[in-house]
């Protein structure tokens, strides 16, 4: 501080009452109320209701259920596909293989169409639901991981804690949801399923599924989905990845990459959330 400025500052302080001088020196401010600590997410567990056969060679990236059929997106270069599957037999009724340079990712239904992401190709593929014929492609920036449709927006993950809201027709990004659990960001969000204002999200390379309030981004439930596969099944399987809502029962169907089964599970409360 220069001499002239220093003299002006001391003169200014000398003209103030003592209490005001103290406020200037210690940056007095109105008392503030500390924000309430974020509540912990409810601990959830599952009850297996039944199982369905699943192609153990399918590298599952996205799963949904509609009118009695599973629709599945599989990944890996040279092995990516879109499939319609009969739940009871596990038979693939219709399969469309993606070009060898595309790595399939999440899939969502919008009316009579399916929208399928690709991982690092920046291309969303739009398919006719009835025929599984490709109708168009849409370009986007960044990686594509999981996708679901909440009736208004497509909700898309990219492995971060931020879910993008996209227009279902143009695929333009129109908003975002930052996901937090007890105030901390939850990263590696992968496969998504939208259910009545809630987004269920696989956490990549983890056995947990986050139940997310789509309005606030807060994780309201934390499901430990470990132990679904028998030890001998788990040896040849990859990570948990695949969530589909079953409207008739209100249950979820869960599977993973290279899993031999799909599990219909009922989600129940394991322990009440901690008090604020």
Query: For the chain, which residues score pLDDT lower than 50?
Result: 1-37, 276
Residue 1 falls inside a structural domain? no
Closest CA to 154 of 218, 106, 221: 106
Number of domains observed in the structure of the chain: 1
Structure tokens at 122: 């920046």
Is residue 137 domain-resident? Answer: yes
pLDDT value at residue 269: 87
Q: How far apart are CA 211 and CA 67, in angstroms?
A: 24
What pLDDT does 270 receive? 78
pLDDT tens per residue, range 143-178 = 999 999 999 999 999 999 999 999 999 999 999 999
Q: What is the CA radius of gyration of the chain?
A: 25
Which pLDDT value is given to residue 78?
97
Residue 8 lies in a domain: no
Host H or E run for residue 87: none
Q: Residue 15 has what pLDDT?
A: 46
Q: Give the structural domain span for 62.
A: 37-271
Look at the pTM and tell me if it is higher than 0.85. no
d(CA 50, CA 32): 53
Distances 170 to 114, 141, 154, 155 between C-alpha atoms, Å: 14, 13, 11, 13
User: Tens digits of per-residue pLDDT, 62-81?
Assistant: 999 999 999 999 999 999 99
DSSP 16: S
Position 271 scores a pLDDT of 56
Inside any domain, residue 195: yes
The reply to whether 7 falls in a domain is: no
Residue 17 lies in a domain: no
Query: Looking at residue 185, which CATH number applies to its domain?
Result: 2.120.10.30
Does residue 61 form part of some domain? yes
Is 138 within the bounds of a domain? Answer: yes
């Amino acid at each position: 501080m220069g001499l002239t400025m220093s003299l002006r500052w001391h003169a200014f302080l000398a003209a103030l009452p003592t209490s005001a001088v103290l406020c200037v020196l210690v940056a007095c401010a109105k008392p503030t109320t500390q924000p309430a600590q974020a509540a912990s997410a409810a601990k959830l567990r599952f009850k297996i209701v039944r199982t369905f056969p699943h192609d153990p060679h399918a590298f599952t990236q996205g799963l949904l259920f509609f009118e009695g059929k599973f629709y599945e997106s599989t990944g890996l270069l040279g092995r990516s596909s879109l499939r319609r599957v009969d739940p009871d037999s596990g038979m693939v009724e219709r399969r469309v293989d993606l070009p060898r340079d595309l790595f399939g990712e999440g899939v969502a239904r919008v009316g009579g169409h399916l929208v399928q992401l690709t991982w690092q190709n920046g291309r969303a593929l739009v398919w006719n639901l009835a025929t599984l014929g490709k109708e168009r492609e849409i370009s986007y920036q960044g990686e594509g991981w999981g996708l679901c449709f909440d009736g208004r927006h497509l909700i898309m993950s990219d492995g971060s804690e931020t879910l993008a809201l996209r227009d279902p027709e143009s695929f333009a990004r129109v908003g975002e949801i930052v996901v937090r659990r007890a105030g901390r960001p939850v990263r590696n969000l992968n496969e998504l399923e939208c259910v009545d204002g809630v987004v269920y999200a696989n956490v990549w390379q983890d056995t947990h599924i986050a139940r997310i309030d789509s309005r606030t981004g807060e994780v309201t439930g934390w499901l430990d989905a470990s132990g679904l596969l028998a030890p001998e099944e788990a040896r040849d399987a990859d990570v948990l990845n695949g969530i589909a809502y079953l409207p008739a029962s209100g249950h979820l169907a869960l599977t993973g990459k290279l899993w031999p089964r799909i599990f219909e599970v009922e989600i129940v409360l394991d322990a009440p959330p901690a008090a604020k």
